Amino acid sequence: MSDWIAFWNSEHSIYVNARHRDVHYRAIADNIMRYVPGPTATVMDYGCGEALHAGRIAAAAGRVILVDAADNVRAGLAERFKQVANIEVRAPDEIRRLDDRSVDVVMMNSVTQYLASPELSALFVLFRRLLKPGGLLVVGDVVPPDVSPIADVMALLNLAAANGFLIAALSGLVRTAFSDYRRVRTRVGLTLHSEADMMAKLAAAGFTAARAPVNIEPNPARMTFLARPG
């Protein structure tokens, strides 16, 4: 994972422009808010990235824990939300010190592809310990083995057309072909999971899980899973 952490720590161009970045993080915040059970809930966004709209989640929850492995990302989060009392920024190792059964919702969106399989299994065990009885783990944007790169391209273009940045998206696709993201992905690759594999991993960690009808991201070729402590 160190190669991917280095990438996210860099000045990357994964988003084609500011509009793309805003739409992406607003959609994530909206999806997380759907699962917040009430105003006193503790919500963890694991691998949160820039989390531009986490303030909206904080307005609906009692405590929001933003977790990211990239130092520069965490520094940006700490600065962005320094005035929001119920948002805290943590490194992955820090959450191991949280109390058992202290979290209501864990969101892990578009992260599984950057983790080795044993790392993901260990995380599921940790989340199982942290979640309250009746809590919820949302694992979003899981990349299956048979997905085509064309599906990712079409998902971006459809999102761009619906949100007013289609020309920028077309230019961004050209930049991505020669970007650090492309080079890291070619060198390191992504970890792919079938539906059966994800269900088995979640069950092994003590979850009762089901695949959601639609992916949490606007890419229907990828998968989202909803899991509760068994």
**Helix or strand or coil: residue 10?**
coil
The pLDDT tens digits along the chain (230 residues) read 567 677 667 666 678 889 988 998 999 999 999 999 999 999 999 999 999 999 999 999 999 999 999 999 999 999 999 999 999 999 999 999 999 999 999 999 999 999 999 999 999 999 999 999 999 999 999 999 988 777 877 887 888 888 888 888 778 776 665 455 555 455 556 899 999 999 999 999 999 999 999 999 888 899 999 999 98
DSSP state letter for 61: S
Cα of first residue to Cα of last residue in the chain, in angstroms, is 29
Helices (H), the chain: 2-9, 18-35, 54-60, 71-80, 117-130, 149-163, 166-177, 180-188, 195-204
* Neighbour-count burial for 6-27, b at 16+ CB within 10 Å, e otherwise: ebbbeeeebbbbeebbbbbbeb
Which CATH class, in words, describes the domain spanning 2-229?
A: alpha beta
Domain boundaries, the chain: 2-229
